[in-house]
Amino acid sequence: MDAFDQLQRFTGYLRIAHHIPGRIRLKLEGDLDSDRLGAIGDARRFGRALDGIPGVHSIKLNILARSCTIEYDTTTIPAAAWPDLLSGVRSTAAETLLDILVTKHRELPGA
């Protein structure tokens, strides 16, 4: 399983805790206690995957709270992209974010 497949698998455990255009807080759900180290690694990979993509200003991971806060530019990433992508809706907004993530993934070594 490559890094992008791992990222997609990981997003299935995320839910939106709070969202205003330009700032979203995601919470990690599910029973990952059996693979706690794997979940922490997935969370860190998720943060690195988003770090440096166009439109993302900052990412703050809080492993203990199982949350991630992302500040982003709504002119690059539409606000609807996050809920649509996480719920599997193939909207124009979700496709915009997915295209940015795929492009970033292709730039990573070993991708």
The answer on pLDDT for 109 being more than 80 is no
pLDDT of residue 41: 67
Q: Can you give 28-95 as a three-state secondary structure string?
A: ECCCCHHHHHHHHHHHHHHHHHHCCCCCEEEEEEECCCCEEEEEECCCCCCCCHHHHHHHCCCCHHHH
Total domains in the fold of the chain: 1
Q: What is the mean pLDDT of residues 10-34?
A: 82
Tell me the CATH number at 16. Answer: 3.30.70.100
Domain limits at 92?
3-107
Tens digit of pLDDT for each residue in 23-59?
999 998 865 555 554 566 666 666 677 777 889 999 8
Q: Note the pTM of the prediction, 2 decimals.
A: 0.77
Q: How confident is the model at residue 90 (pLDDT cuts 50, 70, 90)?
A: confident
